[in-house]
């Protein structure tokens, strides 16, 4: 059996992964709040932990791994969207979950074993809060149920913070009914126009953190193997999950291993609507970027490091995947290469595993096919995009000629001509990018040959 090593955020060190029960490996990953399309950053944990799911299934057996990823379908952002659009909350969440499935299917993510919706687990949340209240870890105040952080001495240890330092650094107004500024909401009252359920504290709805604790306990038990998500969830979400779960079930470990993926950049900058570099997975798919290419680019960077999405990386990934698909055309996949699996199993080293695929591309197409599929690449049902030819030689020559013309115009300080070519490229659907190593270009789905030819 291939040994798996994972970096455990909880202990801050790499550890040999030893499941509680090798016949029933259990993993929970925090999922989406379903009020809008998933942006590119949302896709990173899906792709990363889908790859871990595939590795666990390979090592322990398909029928011996349970993967749970939730949907948060009760949230103030959903309420705001419903109020703004006049649509029913249920319609919004059903539509958004459908979008999410379509987009994550497109990037090659397997469906988890279970995808619980928060609204189906309200009774379990209420029951968990009642346990916390009965044990003195939570209290009722003005229709709210709140967790008492001072009742759990280990609070802040997971994220490396002290409660007093967190309070000192706080810059937000504290609700007067809280015993301590750091106490967090488990249950809150709902107005008549908001979704709500009857509870011992009145009609209301759950706080965000209690959802995952209740669903994980119901589906995976008091102790399970892996809990994962984006690094932005380490505090307060995961810190709060640990506090309430361990206080409710002090005999348990909750999650033994914690994994967190780092954040996503776009062309070296944080993705932001104000910077104009914010886009959804669907935006890329609609622009003609294959889901398999998105997945490849994501896996080029180790999950523990920030991942920089660039046009150049996407173009190189497309070229590599086209080449590999050509190599395995008509070849029957064998079994994943042992060296490849060993590299991938060393702290989910996807970048190193891709290097192994390059090695196999030059020596063993059958093993290349099998190994790549373990990472969710080169799957037969994801290859339709590669059957479409790239730009013709005539188009490439024309673009090269026009780029030379643009370069000459710049050198001659003919900025009017240079700007006209820049705008003309954009209108023709040719995406041009100047980089330190030269000019890169790609064709958008809106490519218009006639407009390009008119630039001559």
> What is the structure's pLDDT at 436?
75
Q: Are 56 and 198 in contact (CB under 8 A)?
A: no
The phi, psi pair for 455, rounded to 5°, reads -80, -10
Max CA separation in the chain (angstroms): 80
Cα 361 to chain center, whole Å?
28
**Among candidates 26, 22, 20, 18, which has minimal Cα distance to 219?**
26
Q: What is the pLDDT of residues 380-399, one digit of tens each?
A: 999 889 876 656 667 778 99
Q: Are 222 and 128 in contact (CB under 8 A)?
A: no
**Among candidates 323, 174, 146, 313, which has minimal Cα distance to 240?**
146
Q: Are 323 and 448 in contact (CB under 8 A)?
A: no
Alpha-helical runs (H) found in 145-290? 163-169, 208-220, 239-248, 281-286
> What is the structure's pLDDT at 411?
92
**Among candidates 367, 349, 350, 370, which has minimal Cα distance to 359?**
367
308 is written with which tokens? 């920089």
> What is the structure's pLDDT at 391?
60
Measure CA of the first residue to CA of the last residue in the chain; give whole Å.
62
> What is the structure's pLDDT at 396?
79
d(CA 124, CA 121): 5
What 8-state DSSP symbol labels residue 38?
Answer: P
Q: Which residues contact 115 (CB under 8 A, 6 or more apart)?
A: 31, 68, 69, 70, 71
Residue with tokens 């290469």: 337
Q: Are 96 and 280 in contact (CB under 8 A)?
A: no
Residue with tokens 């006049």: 86
Burial of 173 from C-beta contacts in 10 A (0-12 / 13-18 / 19+): exposed
Q: Are 387 and 290 in contact (CB under 8 A)?
A: no
CATH topology of domain 5-261: Rossmann fold (3.40.50)
d(CA 376, CA 384): 15
List of the chain residues with pLDDT < 50: none
Q: Are 70 and 115 in contact (CB under 8 A)?
A: yes
Q: Which residues contact 356 (CB under 8 A, 6 or more apart)?
A: 337, 339, 340, 343, 344, 371
> What is the structure's pLDDT at 85?
94
Q: Which residues contact 254 (CB under 8 A, 6 or more apart)?
A: 216, 222, 223, 224, 227, 241, 242, 245, 246
- What residue segments make up the domains of the chain, in order of their start? 5-261, 281-387, 393-453
**Helix, strand, or coil here: 126?**
helix
33 is written with which tokens? 């709040």
| Cross-strand bridge partners of residue 147 | 138, 184
């Amino acid at each position: 059996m291939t040994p798996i090593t994972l970096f455990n955020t909880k202990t801050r060190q790499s550890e040999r992964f030893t499941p509680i029960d090798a016949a029933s490996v259990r993993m929970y990953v925090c999922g989406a709040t379903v009020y809008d399309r998933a942006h590119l950053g949302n896709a990173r944990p899906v792709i990363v932990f889908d790859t871990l799911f595939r590795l666990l299934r390979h090592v322990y057996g398909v029928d011996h791994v349970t993967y749970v990823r939730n949907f948060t379908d009760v949230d103030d952002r959903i309420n705001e969207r419903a109020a703004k659009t006049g649509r029913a909350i249920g319609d919004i969440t059903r539509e958004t979950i459908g979008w999410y499935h379509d987009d994550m299917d497109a990037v090659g993510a397997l469906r988890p074993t279970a995808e619980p919706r928060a609204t189906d687990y309200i009774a379990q949340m209420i029951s968990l809060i009642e346990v916390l209240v009965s044990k003195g870890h939570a209290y009722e105040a003005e229709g709210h149920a709140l967790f008492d952080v001072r009742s759990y001495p280990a609070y802040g240890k997971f994220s490396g913070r002290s409660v007093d330092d967190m309070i000192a650094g706080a810059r937000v107004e504290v609700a007067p009914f809280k015993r301590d500024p750091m106490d967090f909401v488990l249950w809150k009252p709902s107005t008549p126009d908001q979704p709500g359920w009857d509870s011992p504290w009145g009609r209301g709805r759950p706080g965000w953190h209690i959802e995952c604790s209740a669903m994980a306990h119901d589906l995976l038990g008091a102790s399970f193997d892996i809990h994962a998500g984006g690094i932005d969830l380490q505090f307060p979400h995961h810190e709060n999950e640990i506090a309430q779960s361990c206080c409710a079930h002090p005999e348990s470990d909750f999650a033994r291993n914690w994994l967190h993926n780092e954040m996503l950049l776009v062309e070296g900058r944080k993705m932001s609507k104000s910077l104009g570099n914010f886009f959804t997975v669907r935006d890329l798919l609609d622009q003609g970027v294959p889901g398999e290419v998105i997945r490849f680019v994501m896996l080029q960077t180790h999950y523990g490091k920030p991942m920089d999405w660039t046009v150049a990386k996407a173009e190189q990934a497309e070229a590599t995947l086209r080449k590999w698909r050509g190599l395995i055309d008509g070849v029957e996949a064998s079994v994943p290469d042992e060296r490849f699996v060993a590299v991938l199993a060393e702290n989910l080293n996807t970048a190193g595993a891709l290097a192994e695929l390059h090695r196999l591309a030059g020596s063993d197409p059958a093993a290349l096919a099998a190994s790549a599929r373990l990472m969710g690449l080169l799957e037969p049902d994801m290859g339709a995009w590669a059957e479409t030819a790239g730009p013709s030689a005539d188009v490439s020559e024309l673009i090269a000629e026009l780029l030379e013309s643009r370069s000459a115009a710049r050198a001659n300080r003919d900025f009017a001509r240079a700007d006209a070519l820049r705008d003309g490229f954009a209108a023709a659907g040719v995406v041009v990018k100047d980089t330190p190593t030269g000019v890169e270009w790609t064709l958008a789905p809106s490519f218009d040959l006639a407009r390009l030819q008119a630039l001559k």
